[in-house]
Amino acid sequence: MGLVLDEEQTILKDSAKAFFADQAPVTAFRKLRDEKDETGFSRELWRAMAEMGWAGIVIPEAYGGLEYGFQGLALVLEEQGRTLAASPLVSTVLLGAGTLMEAGSEAQKSALLPKIAEGSLLLTVAIDEGHHFNPAQTAFEAKSDSDGFILTGEKTFVLDGHVADKIIVLARTSGNKGDREGLTLFLVEGTAEGLTRERLKMLDSRNAALLMFDQVKVTGDAVIGAIGGGYDALESVLDRAAIGLAAEMLGSASAVFEMTLDYLKERRQFGQLIGSFQSLQHRAADMFTQLELSKSIVMTAATALDESSNEISSLASLAKAFVGETSNKVTREGIQMHGGIGMTDEHDVGLYLKRSRVAEHTFGSAAYHRDRYARLNDY
Amino acid sequence: MGLVLDEEQTILKDSAKAFFADQAPVTAFRKLRDEKDETGFSRELWRAMAEMGWAGIVIPEAYGGLEYGFQGLALVLEEQGRTLAASPLVSTVLLGAGTLMEAGSEAQKSALLPKIAEGSLLLTVAIDEGHHFNPAQTAFEAKSDSDGFILTGEKTFVLDGHVADKIIVLARTSGNKGDREGLTLFLVEGTAEGLTRERLKMLDSRNAALLMFDQVKVTGDAVIGAIGGGYDALESVLDRAAIGLAAEMLGSASAVFEMTLDYLKERRQFGQLIGSFQSLQHRAADMFTQLELSKSIVMTAATALDESSNEISSLASLAKAFVGETSNKVTREGIQMHGGIGMTDEHDVGLYLKRSRVAEHTFGSAAYHRDRYARLNDY
Amino acid sequence: MSNLDIFREEVRAWLAENCPPSMRTPMGNDEDVVWGGRKAKYENPEARLWLDRMGAKGWTAPTWPKEYGGGGLTKEEAAVLGQELGRIDARPALASFGLWMLGPVLLEYGTEEQKKEHLPPIVRGEIRWCQGYSEPGAGSDLAGLQTRAVLEGEDYVINGQKVWTSYADKADAIFCLVRTDTSTKHEGISFLLIDMDQPGVTTKPIKLISGNSPFCETFLDDARTPARNLIGRLNGGWEIAKKLLQHERTNISAGGFGAGGRAAALEELAKEYLGTDRGEIADAVKRDQVVRHKMLERAFAQTLKRMSAETKAGEVSPASSIIKYVAAEMNKDRMELLVEIMGLQALGWSGDYFSKQGLATTRAMLRSKANSIEGGTTEVNLNVIAKRVLGLRDHQ
Amino acid sequence: MSNLDIFREEVRAWLAENCPPSMRTPMGNDEDVVWGGRKAKYENPEARLWLDRMGAKGWTAPTWPKEYGGGGLTKEEAAVLGQELGRIDARPALASFGLWMLGPVLLEYGTEEQKKEHLPPIVRGEIRWCQGYSEPGAGSDLAGLQTRAVLEGEDYVINGQKVWTSYADKADAIFCLVRTDTSTKHEGISFLLIDMDQPGVTTKPIKLISGNSPFCETFLDDARTPARNLIGRLNGGWEIAKKLLQHERTNISAGGFGAGGRAAALEELAKEYLGTDRGEIADAVKRDQVVRHKMLERAFAQTLKRMSAETKAGEVSPASSIIKYVAAEMNKDRMELLVEIMGLQALGWSGDYFSKQGLATTRAMLRSKANSIEGGTTEVNLNVIAKRVLGLRDHQ
């Protein structure tokens, strides 16, 4: 998109907006939550999204995708964020397809990417082990044996991990916790023997799972990329994931801002519309400012992905940190400006706040990415 | 004072307020500045302050002082801050007399404290060597020789250092830069051979000097306290200085707030008093809040000094950090709310901002004291 | 021995005799709080015994006059009673909006008959009261109240809806602000007592973003109350409401979600979740945020003390105006910081994977968002400081 | 070869011939800026030569019509000229409020006679203009203007005081907003040109908290100007003023005190003054503040780019409303952070002890305080965003 959408991108954005408003409005997500749906998203919705081509939007045409690029994916994610639509777009496409495209062998790509593009395969990547995102701290062990590798340990906060057909696992094949070297990516079946999966009931009622590996055996074919080179491969994938998630958060935060602005124009107190109180006006103007700055960053970062800029990592951290702080602020203000009604479960603004807090921590918090940005830029 | 002034303290505060309003209003300080006065304060004013008993307000009666305590001194400092009155109260009393009372021998105390109390002796302590306050980083060297010690090196930002009759110098007699052990305090004549003094022209047009010691000789009598134990002695002195300076800054910040509030009630724009604009009202309320919190801290800290509480160091860092941030914020808002007129040299608010920035950095910035507070409290 | 010392000995002896053993243990959870009322259930019979005994002495309302069931104690005696209860870690015999809010109103504005009728059951915990102020259209702005009360014969007939009525679903009666004159705003409001045990009153609990809550919506559809239940003068409810709100604000912030104490210390959690480096919180940036918060907490605590010292010294304390505002914002920031520190552990909603403390933190972070809304919004607090304390005026 | 390429070759050849060598070196300081005017002094005769040559070609105002002394270039040609000037690092031949502000107003609102009279001397740098908008009683609120102009025969007679007139003490003439009708507010303002070389006009430089400044107070005491110097319609000055202010705002923030570039990089100074630890800024807390600032700078820079891309694409850019606000607050924060980082070195006022950079930082920190006041205060910026962009309304 560069910094302005071209005509094709405008059409994509408009159709994504209409799609989610129609097929996955906030009420749909609320229903999933209230009915304690075990999958955590609508498979029907995912099929419809795949039909729109979005499951394969970044996948090369050679593997059945649209090869439309990350700017398009960012637009879809932004619109998905606007209605809090739950889908495996982040887990399956950003993480799963992303890893295969980055480091997969020809055989792996041919086998899996077309299925992802057609919406028939759910994939995810299992990274986290502690309270805070920090892939270099991976301790999860893969021991090599005659037939391949044996995986043992726990992975947490695995997005869609309880329903993914296949899981890519970041595991240590050498070195120590803290080393970037010695980490390897393995492709594991969701139904593998020795693997126990438990859906985590998160604040945002979205999808994350705890995966317990008890001597799970995989063959040598299961390795993705180079043995010991998993960190570097994953880092590029995570840059894309951070930018994509920032786009989704921007959409959500924009929605909160819009509903708050509407409320300011409609709610009366002390005989006046509350939006006519200057302190609220200035705070609204400040939110708008943060959102405009965020928008520039997300567009820049998504474009950088398609242009293979050498600034991608920097821009990914910038986007995740900056949009994360914006989202935190906007959701706080959203509730405060709505007053009591915003505190009730039946109002949507609370759903956005909950989603924001989880998204803020996914793939690294703002603090994590500020530190990373400083490192990348030699501060 | 505890947390409410008693009758005697109220009288002291009122008389200090009247004294400075009458004898040292902001115009007096402005005159000193514009006339590029070389002393940097009015000796006449200092004599008058000594006559009020303030030069000896914390000095024991046995040495000619009032023995009234630090709560009293804090009140005087607060009122001095209100009009930006320049006096050697911080250098001579808080630092100089403070060091003698903390670590001086009976002979040193008998010789010097009465003169300080009567206002005839100016004293200071020379600590800083770099851009940032950090006494443990002292490298300034004192070499012992047969007759005593030889001092060589530079001390900067020495309050009233260009006019002090005597200077207490923090110097390293053993150990390395960074060690708290091995530092010793020496009493040096302002006119000592080998000592060159240069007044620094600071942002706040107040008093600080660069002192260059070239083989300055002192006898063994010049040592204050234990050889190598200078840091510990000085730390208590600096706690008092930080609390005293916080009181002065509170006075200055309160004055800025009051002049700003007056302006809000008098300046019209868009046909309205600017103080009727809600966003300015809320920001004024927020400044008021910070000042009220600051006031509680300063009172608590000054009282702790008189009660020899074991929390003194913690409270000193709390006061310096919290009041420092408040002062920074209030002076920023003071200028902004005054608009263009606040930017002109002829308006007083700029003088307060300049004084604030220097005071914020004197005896350690807010950041320094937050780190210290964390250390003291095991965070 | 002074009279107070004698009184202290009597109290001590009486407590030794009358405070049941289980009432001297710390409360386990909210279920252990005794609210009294017609529908009260006592899992622990000693809780009921303790209430009955304290109620009979009037010591649930120690300073209220004896003729209305109170203890009739002087302030000094009440302080001694408090100290002695504290000394044996006695549980409060009764928690009650009747004691805290309605009682003081009745003592000041009630007629002799009204006091005689309502105060003794409050003291003994026989009637549980709730308060009905806010309405969907009137949050910070009570002048917008729309619940109407119309006199029909001997009764007022009330129609409207109240919201944020704490524990309305468990209460026996409600004290309400109602509109009795629609031609003016503030001047048309009255203070009315209504029995809730009637078909015209229904309640519905409110679920918050943090989960279940004590709050309810309360619907009044042709609810009736005898005209004698009007407190103060007709259309004079605004004055009563202002007093009560002020009272509520001070209560909330001083005791409520204020500085530290209740939850685990921020610095300890920071060490646990972020690790330590030579004994210090390993993440220097977070450590700085923790210090900032601790400093603010201390400044707040000292300001509370100063406020009470000033009040004791008979001074008007301008600091009191900032208390609610600071407490609310501070607690919200504290909870956000805790979530930052605990990461994933404070992002759970339920389930065994998350620690009790983690789940409690998640919920508390969400619940804290209401701190700056309930009992006077932060915006209203700032308006009050600007106008009443600083003397700034509205557009003319 | 396209026409543009031909034009480029011509420009290149002309510049090679006509741009004097010293005009291809970087400017040393503010003294090197050429403002022209009757009182101009040229330390370096080549500066005058350069101005004369460029002025004669009309290339100080490349896109203005030739008939008014301009270059008569197309936008594309003007861009080529700019590129070629940049290629040889040529100094601007002329800095001028006449070029930047008055000229565009005359082109839009002036009569043929007015354009013919005033534009050519601007192009050639013969007359130096200053602007007179603000008054002591009218800062953000120009509707409060009190300087009056009354028609007496052929002349307007002007009385009043202007403030914040940049370089008024060096200017030959002033373009002013004056009140020509006291019965209304916005509608009673006119735009007037006044020669300053008359006894009725005096100026007094303003000293700022940061030291000397280009700003002056300008006093008009029975100053006179021929009635033909009224630009636009009588009482129609408000519309012109609004356009000019908008123009000024964009100018100030995009080129002015905006993101980075001019001063030494924050991160380098942080390393120098705080030390490094394994190559990183040693103070982790300050490092975090530096990153925050750098991130904001980048977000701002990208927003400027987006704004210009949107404008180029013919879209209305709502982002443009935030530019001045963000630039001002960002620069103020940057300077305060720099002072924090440099400590004592950025707390000096004068003298050899302090480094040049230190002293410049002190002054720049002080000067930056005006960023959120001049050219539209931050408060006015926020009002504009809230009302014009977000559609929020005043109390009704």
3-state SS class at B46: helix
**For residue B283, is pLDDT > 60?**
yes
Per-residue pLDDT, D189: 94
pLDDT digits (tens, 9 = 90+) for A159-210: 999 999 999 999 999 999 999 999 999 999 999 999 999 999 999 999 999 9
- Provide the ipTM: 0.94
C248 is catalytic: yes
| Chain A residues touching residue B277 (CB < 8 angstroms) | 278
From the CA of B36, how many Å to the nearest CA of chain D?
12
Q: Which of residues 248-307 of C touch D (CB under 8 A)?
A: 284-285, 288
Are C294 and B379 an interchain contact pair (Cβ–Cβ within 8 Å)?
yes
Answer whether C395 touches D (CB < 8 Å): yes
* Lowest mean pLDDT segment, chosen from B328-337, D176-185, D289-298: D176-185
Lowest mean pLDDT, pick from B232-236, B256-260, C311-315: C311-315
Of B339, B344, B361, the CB nearest to D207: B344
| CATH hierarchy code of domain C3-95 | 1.10.540
Q: Does the beta-carbon distance from C382 to A279 stay under 8 Å?
A: yes
pLDDT of D245 higher than 90: no
- Tens digit of pLDDT for each residue in A106-128? 999 999 999 999 999 999 999 99
Q: Nearest chain C residue to D394 by CA: give it.
A: C395
Given a contact cutoff of 8 angstroms between Cβ atoms, the answer to whether A200 and C353 are in contact is yes
Of D279, D309, D391, Cβ closest to residue A2: D309
Q: What is the mean pLDDT of residues D183-191?
A: 87
User: How large is the average pLDDT for residues A76-83?
Assistant: 98
Please write the tens of the pLDDT for every residue from A294-308: 999 999 999 999 999
* pLDDT in the model for residue C258: 39
Confidence of residue B1 (pLDDT cuts 50, 70, 90): low
Q: Using an 8 Å CB-CB cutoff, list chain C residues near D285.
A: 284-285, 288
Per-residue model confidence (pLDDT) at position D139: 77
Q: Coil, strand, or helix at residue C62?
A: coil
- Which pLDDT band holds residue D262 (cuts at 50, 70, 90)? very low
pLDDT digits (tens, 9 = 90+) for D51-110: 999 999 999 999 999 999 999 999 999 999 999 999 999 999 999 999 999 999 999 999
Q: Can you tell me the distance from the alpha carbon of A360 to that of A324, in angstroms, rounded to the nearest whole number?
A: 5
Alpha carbon of D259 to those of A288, A349, D301, D335, D371: distances in Å?
Answer: 20, 35, 7, 12, 13
Q: Please name the amino acid found at residue A113.
A: L
**Contact at CB, A269 and C208, closer than 8 angstroms:** no
Determine, for residues D300 and A293 on separate chains, whether the beta-carbon distance falls below 8 Å. Answer: yes
Residue C103's pLDDT band (boundaries 50, 70, 90)?
very high
Comparing C-alpha atoms, which of B325, B283, B336 is closest to residue D368?
Answer: B336
Q: What is the pLDDT confidence band of residue D259, given thresholds at 50, 70 and 90?
A: very low
Mind spelling out the 3-state secondary structure of chain D? CCHHHHHHHHHHHHHHHHCCHHHHCCCCCHHHCCCCCCCCCCCCHHHHHHHHHHHHHCCCCCCCCHHHCCCCCCHHHHHHHHHHHHHCCCCCCCCCHHHHHHHHHHHHHCCHHHHHHHHHHHHCCCCCEEEECCECCECCCHHHCCCEEEEECCEEEEEEEEEEEECHHHCCEEEEEEECCCCCCHHHEEEEEEECCCCCEEEEECCECCECCCEEEEEEEEEEEEHHHEECCCCCHHHHHHHHHHHHHHHHHHHHCCCCCCCCCHHHHHHHHHCEECCEECCHHHHHHHHHHHHHHHHHHHHHHHHHHHHHCCCCCCCHHHHHHHHHHHHHHHHHHHHHHHHHHHCEEECCCCCHHHHHHHHHHHHHHHHHCCCCCHHHHHHHHHHHHCCCCCCC
Identify whether the C-beta of residue B321 lies closer than 8 Å to the C-beta of residue B369.
Answer: yes
**Cβ contacts of D283 on chain B, cutoff 8 Å:** 367
Instruction: Give chain A positions within 8 Å (CB) of C369.
Output: 332, 335-336, 342-343, 353
D379 interfaces chain B, CB cutoff of 8 Å:
yes
pLDDT of residue B127: 98
Residue C206 contacts A where some CB pair is shorter than 8 Å: yes
Q: What is the pLDDT of residue C264?
A: 66
Burial label for A118, CB within 10 Å (0-12, 13-18, 19+), is: middle
* Nearest-CA distance C138 → chain A (Å): 7
Looking at the predicted structure, is the pLDDT value of residue B303 above 90? yes
Given the structure tokens 């943090």, which residue do they identify? C210
The radius of gyration of chain A's CA atoms, rounded to the nearest angstrom, is 21
> Quick check: D261 pLDDT over 60?
no
Give the percent of chain A with pLDDT over 70. 100
**pLDDT (tens digit, 9 = 90+) per residue, A212-258?**
999 999 999 999 999 999 999 999 999 999 999 999 999 999 999 99
C95 touches chain B (CB under 8 A): no
What is the reported pLDDT for C260? 38
Return the percentage of chain C with pLDDT > 90, whole number: 82
| Segment among C166-180, C233-247, D210-224 with least mean pLDDT | C233-247
| Residue in B closest to A283 by C-alpha | B279
Please identify which residue in the block is written with the tokens 């496409």.
Answer: A93
Nearest chain A residue to C361, by CA: A203
The yes-or-no verdict on residue C124 having pLDDT over 50 is yes
- d(CA C49, nearest CA chain D) in Å: 57
Neighbouring chains of D at 3+ CB pairs under 8 Å are A, B, C
Chain C contact set for A345 (CB, 8 A): 207-209, 211
Among chain A residues, the shortest Cα distance to C350 is held by A201
At C249 the pLDDT is 63
Query: Are the C-beta atoms of residues B242 and B364 closer than 8 Å to each other?
Result: yes
Residue C243 banded pLDDT, cuts 50, 70, 90 = confident
Give me the residue spans of the domains in chain C: 3-95, 129-237, 257-389
Give mean pLDDT, residues B107-121: 98
Kind plus residue range of the DSSP H or E element containing A150: strand A148-159
Structural domains in chain A, sorted by start? 7-121 (1.10.540.10), 125-229 (2.40.110.10), 231-376 (1.20.140.10)
Q: What confidence score (pLDDT) does residue D156 get?
A: 97
Q: Catalytic residue numbers of D?
A: 248
H or E stretch at B296: helix B278-306
Q: Mean per-residue pLDDT for C181-207?
A: 93
Question: Is residue A17 predicted with pLDDT exceeding 50?
Answer: yes
Joined tokens for residue B125: 């302590």
Domain C257-389, CATH 1.20.140.10 — does that match?
Answer: yes
According to the model, what pLDDT value does residue D176 have? 95
Chain-wide mean pLDDT for chain A?
97
Chain C stretch 240-279, residues whose beta carbon is closer than 8 A to a beta carbon of chain A = 273-274
Pairing mode of beta strands D129-132, D173-179: parallel
Residue B329: HSE in the Cβ half-sphere, 13 Å Cα cutoff: 18
Neighbours of chain C (3+ CB pairs under 8 A): A, B, D
Residues 6+ apart with CB under 8 A from A165: A121, A122, A123, A189, A190
Tell me what pLDDT residue C262 has.
Answer: 47
**What is the helix (H) or strand (E) element at residue A260, kind and residue range?**
helix A230-264
CA distances from B139 to A339, B130, B143, B362 (A): 58, 10, 12, 19
CATH fold for domain D129-237: Butyryl-CoA Dehydrogenase, subunit A; domain 2 (2.40.110)
Question: CA of B107: how far to CAs of B6, B110, B225, in Å?
Answer: 36, 5, 12
- Work out the angle at residue A34's Cα, subtended by the Cα atoms of residues A29 and A40, and round it to the nearest 5 degrees: 55
- pLDDT (0 to 100) of residue D331: 95
Segment D30-36 mean pLDDT: 90
Q: How confident is the model at residue D265 (pLDDT cuts 50, 70, 90)?
A: confident
Residues of B with CB under 8 A from a CB of D: 128, 130-133, 156-157, 198, 200-205, 210, 268-271, 277, 279-280, 328, 332, 335-336, 339-346, 350, 353-354, 357-358, 361, 365, 367, 371
**Subunits close to B (at least 3 CB pairs below 8 A):** A, C, D
How far CA D92 is from CA of B78, C74, D18, D356, in Å, comes to 53, 86, 14, 26
Residue D395: its chain C contacts at CB < 8 A? 395
Are B342 and B352 spatial neighbours (Cβ–Cβ below 8 Å)?
no
Query: C209 CA to chain D: closest CA distance, Å?
Result: 28
Report the pLDDT value the prediction gives residue C67, as an integer from 0 to 100.
Answer: 96
Å between C133 CA and nearest CA of chain A: 13
Residue B182's pLDDT is 96
pLDDT digits (tens, 9 = 90+) for B157-206: 999 999 999 999 999 999 999 999 999 999 999 999 999 999 999 999 99
Nearest chain A CA: its distance from C113 CA (Å) = 36
> Residue D258 — pLDDT band, cuts 50, 70, 90?
very low
Chain C residues within 8 A of A155 when measuring between CB atoms: none
Q: Which of A174, A173, A210 is nearest to A195 (CA)?
A: A210
Which of B59, B47, B114 has the alpha carbon at shortest distance from B87?
A: B47
C248, C267, C329, C336: which one is catalytic?
Answer: C248
pLDDT for res D263: 55
CA distance A290 to A283: 11
In order, the DSSP letters of C94-132 are: ---HIIIIIHHHHHHH--HHHHHHHHHHHHTT-S-EEEE
3-state secondary structure of C201: strand
Question: Rounded mean pLDDT of B233-240?
Answer: 97
H/E stretch holding B272: strand B272-273
CA of A57: how far to CAs of A54, A110, D124, in Å?
5, 16, 58
Three-state DSSP class for B146?
coil
